[in-house]
Amino acid sequence: MNKLSRRSFLAAGAAMTAPLIVPSRVLGRGGNPGPNDQITIGCIGLGGMGNSHRSWLTNEAEDARVVALCDVDAERLQAGAEWYDEGEVDTYTDYRRILDRDDIDAVVFGTPDHWHAVQTVHACQAGKDVYVEKPASNTVAEGQAMVAATRRHNRIVQVGSQGRNLNYFPSICEFIRNGELGAIQEVDCWHYPNPEGGDGVDQAPPDHLDWDMWLGPARWRPYNPDYCHGTFRWFLEFGGGNIRDRGAHVLNVLSWFLELDDTGPTKVTATGRAPRHGNYNNPITMVATWEFPHRDLVVHWRQPGFDPESPEQERGYGGIYHGTKGSLAVDGGDIGGRAWPLREAEDYEAPPGGKTVQRTELSGASGNRRNWLDCIKSREEPIMPIEAGHRIASMCNLANAAYQLGRPLEWDPENERVVGDEEANRFVLHEPGRGPWHV
């Protein structure tokens, strides 16, 4: 793992587990916050989800205090700072300034996907606990580095896939795990197509945006408004399309329901229709298949796919679970979460001695954030750990790789390598980076 470039990081070995300057609050054992301590937090990336996290931590979490904000867009940074009194938070355009601070316990990354891995690894090396938005990573190698850094530095890293906290999902999970559908042999995930378009032209970046810092580890290119602030999702190198964006939610609950967090497929195929015009380069339609012969399971992702169109349905995406005893459609993943035709799955309670799952007091993203804060204090594994986030992101990344390479990939889920295809390994295991931005 590469050392960080900043001189302060090169000398930070002793700071990985304990601050150099003891804060005014009483520290817990090992330099981590104790059960009754207030957790000091830096929020990095102040877009949609980044601002949602910042707002909840500021207004809802009595045991957390946001003390620093960071964004490469000065307008977003100013808008975030306006929610606080003068002097209440410090503002930065370089996230490393926050990681340098010994009085900050944890950081939240609401940055674009291509930044997640580098920033999470750097934060772990700096001794910070991390909440990082989904998808966990853009490549398999990035996810591997995130897992390794989390373990090496004994950090609490929560991924922002909140489906395991949603209203009905814990009951549905117990319904499936306790065999009410029998053995699940096939899952059909459906989602609407990716958009086609993007008519922006290369131009000088606006004065309020540090374009070079926004790119970070990504290959340099001229500024184009289509690349950033939301629409980055429609580029394979930045957001990876719906299969990696909302797919990180749909596949998250699937992995949880079927206990796949510690494994992966052995074969991945993907086809799609490339866009005919515009800047976006994600396939408009896409069909991907992951085969798990060691679990006697096949999972399909279809855009647009088969939409059950049930009156109980709330979202235009989800999965249909086909078992030896019956089938169950479950929509949503990030929000929603209804089940049909077996509505009893929504209120299911595991029988005595049956399989149960972790439940949080709060639902959705609030439950995920609350669980993260609690685990920072207890040092227990969070409900959405980085290991699970990495495996889920790997399914998405392998599907995109199979589409781009135009051929199936034979995958070794234990060693996490493509079998017999070194070109594909160079594609899925490369560690992207530019300048100092490497994992």
Tens-digit pLDDT profile for residues 257-307? 999 999 999 999 999 999 999 999 999 999 999 999 999 999 999 999 877
Range of the domain at 298: 167-358+389-428
What is the per-residue DSSP string for 298-345? EEEEEES------TT--SS-EEEEEESS-EEEEE-SSS---EES-GGG
Looking up tokens 């599907």 gives 399
Task: Please tell me the predicted confidence (pLDDT) of residue 31.
Answer: 53
- The dihedrals phi and psi of 70, each to the nearest 5 degrees, come to -145, 135
Strand 409-412 with 267-273, pairing: antiparallel
- Which long-range contacts (C-beta less than 8 Å, at least 24 apart) are formed by 203-207? none
Residue 288 lies in a domain: yes
Indicate whether 365 belongs to any domain.
Answer: no
Cα torsion through 379, 84, 121, 156, rounded to 10: 10
- Reported pTM: 0.91
Mean pLDDT (whole number) for 99-106 = 98
Do residues 299 and 349 both lie within one domain?
A: yes
Q: How far apart are CA 89 and CA 234, in angstroms?
A: 33
**Helices 247-257 and 386-405, axial angle in degrees (round to 10):** 120
Same domain, 158 and 214: no
Q: Is the pLDDT of residue 8 over 90?
A: no
Q: Does 184 share its domain with 154?
A: no
pLDDT at 131 over 90: yes
Give yes or no: residues 156 and 175 share one domain: no
Q: Per-residue pLDDT averaged across 141-145, rounded?
A: 96
CATH number at residue 53: 3.40.50.720
Tell me the C-alpha distance between 112 and 109, whole Å: 9
**pLDDT at residue number 308:** 75
The predicted pLDDT at position 43 comes to: 98
Considering the domain boundaries, does residue 436 fall inside one?
Answer: no
Q: Do 298 and 341 lie in a common domain?
A: yes
23 has pLDDT over 70: no
138 and 172 in a single domain? The answer is no
β-pairing verdict for 285-292 and 267-273:
antiparallel
259 and 296 housed in the same domain: yes
Q: Answer whether residue 221 is part of any domain.
A: yes
244 and 280 housed in the same domain: yes
Which residue shows structure tokens 């930044």?
A: 115
Domain contains 79: yes
Q: Which two tokens stand for residue 329?
A: 């459609």
pLDDT tens digits for range 307-322: 777 888 888 899 999 9
Q: What is the DSSP string of 106-131?
A: EEEE---GGGHHHHHHHHHHTT-EEE
Residues forming beta bridges with residue 132, ordered by sequence position: 109, 159
Both 82 and 111 in one domain: the answer is yes
How many helices (H) and strands (E) the chain has is answered by 12, 15
Asked whether the predicted pLDDT for residue 21 surpasses 90, the reply is: no
| Other CB atoms within 10 A of residue 208 CB | 13
Mean pLDDT of the chain: 91
Residue 16 has pLDDT above 50, yes or no: no
Q: How far apart are the first and last CA of the chain?
A: 6
The CATH number that applies at residue 250 is 3.30.360.10
Indicate if the pLDDT at residue 24 is higher than 90: no
In a domain, 1, yes or no: no
- In this predicted structure, what is the pLDDT of residue 268? 98
Residues 129 and 54 grouped into a single domain: yes
Q: How many structural domains is the chain composed of?
A: 2
In a domain, 369, yes or no: no
Is 73 a member of any domain?
A: yes
Which pLDDT score, from 0 to 100, does residue 305 have?
84
CA distance 145 to 262: 16
DSSP state of 33: B
Same domain, 347 and 381: no
The larger pLDDT score, comparing residue 214 to residue 11, is at: 214
pLDDT digits (tens, 9 = 90+) for 60-96: 999 999 999 999 999 999 999 999 999 999 999 999 9
**Same domain, residue pair 105 and 179:** no
